[in-house]
Amino acid sequence: MITTHGLSKTYRDRTVVEDLDLRVPEGCVYGFLGPNGSGKSTTMKMLLSLVRPTSGEIHVMGRPMRRSTRRALLGDIGSLIESPPAYAHLTGRENMRLVQRLLDLGEDQVSRAVRTVRLQDHLDRPVRAYSLGMKQRLGIAMALARQPRLLILDEPTNGLDPAGIDEIRRLLTRLAEDGTTVMVSSHLLGEIDRTATVLGILGNGRMLFQGTREQLFARSTPDVLIDTPEPERAAALTARWNATRDGAAVRLPGLDHRVTARVVSHLVHEHVDVHGVRRDAQSLEDVFMDLTGGRGL
């Protein structure tokens, strides 16, 4: 659905995005992650032709994104970038009417979009009276009204309560199942972990990882925990492998299966009872922090 080659953006002497090669498969939820200032929003704006790239190529739905093709391509793209584009002094219904007239949409398309985000009971209230979460829903409804093939969302769960976040997560999953490709950035790693089928992780404007969750976790080696009734002695005996005591266990970082077997053999040879050997459970946040050098979102 989206491919870029060597996509870069430089402002004077500061490079925000550098040689970015995106690959967003059709029909997936693509989770776009990276620390603050990593270039996520700038990249999304370039994909939407809101920011002109310094260099590189963008192809959307198999066609180059250029001035001559932009209008046709954007007709199949819905987006929500930074903040909902609604007029605060108008009601939700009046804002949706503007979208309907601007895009020459049918009544059924607008109604479907509003029902999808479950905003139908609040359409006659002025947008200035909406909570931030309701404004987000309205913005997503405006993006969905044209029934786009591609949906690009920057922090769509911003301001939502847990129930609203769960609702948007299920919405994005359902849209992908129905054939809409969704590219979404978020600082809520747990939600991305439960929603995205493909991940792209940026750091300092460069792609650090791109692929499935399984491929990402395969790149990371979780700590090994060895359960033993003698953790103090076991830690001393395995100090060469950077062992530390962790309660009633010994923690050893970054060991593969072969080295782990050697460590266990060494402990047994030294007459240390080993009651269990396990890998520490890892979350997407753990792997993300390791990949980005602990910078966080």
pLDDT tens for 88-104 read 999 999 999 999 998 89
How large is the average pLDDT for residues 224-249?
Answer: 95
Q: What percent of the chain has pLDDT over 90?
A: 62
- Whether 200 contacts 32, CB under 8 Å: yes
- Whether 118 contacts 149, CB under 8 Å: no
The contacts of residue 79 (CB under 8 Å, 6+ apart) are: 44, 48, 143, 151, 152, 153
- Whether 39 contacts 15, CB under 8 Å: no
Handedness of CA 41, 42, 43, 44 (dihedral sign): positive
pLDDT tens for 32-90 read 988 888 899 999 999 999 999 999 999 999 999 998 999 999 989 999 987 778 899 99
pLDDT, position 294: 58
- Best CA proximity match to 185, nearest among 158, 146, 212: 158
- Split at pLDDT 50, 70, 90, the class of 30 is very high
Residues 98 and 133: their CA atoms lie apart, in Å, by 21
How large is the average pLDDT for residues 254-264?
Answer: 91
In the chain, how long is the greatest CA-to-CA distance? 80
pTM above 0.85, yes or no: no
pLDDT, position 45: 95
pLDDT, position 56: 96
pLDDT tens for 281-291 read 777 777 777 77
Residue with more model confidence, 86 or 220: 86
- Split at pLDDT 50, 70, 90, the class of 17 is very high
How large is the average pLDDT for residues 22-31?
Answer: 95
- Give the helix ranges, DSSP H, for the chain: 40-47, 67-74, 92-103, 107-116, 132-144, 162-177, 189-195, 213-218, 231-237, 257-269, 284-291
pLDDT tens for 1-10 read 999 999 999 9
The contacts of residue 241 (CB under 8 Å, 6+ apart) are: 252, 255, 259, 263
Name the one residue in this structure whose structure tokens are 């080993």: 274
Mean model confidence pLDDT for the chain: 90
pLDDT tens for 135-186 read 888 999 999 998 999 999 998 887 777 877 887 888 888 889 989 999 999 8
| Residue 196, helix vs strand vs coil | coil
pLDDT, position 24: 97
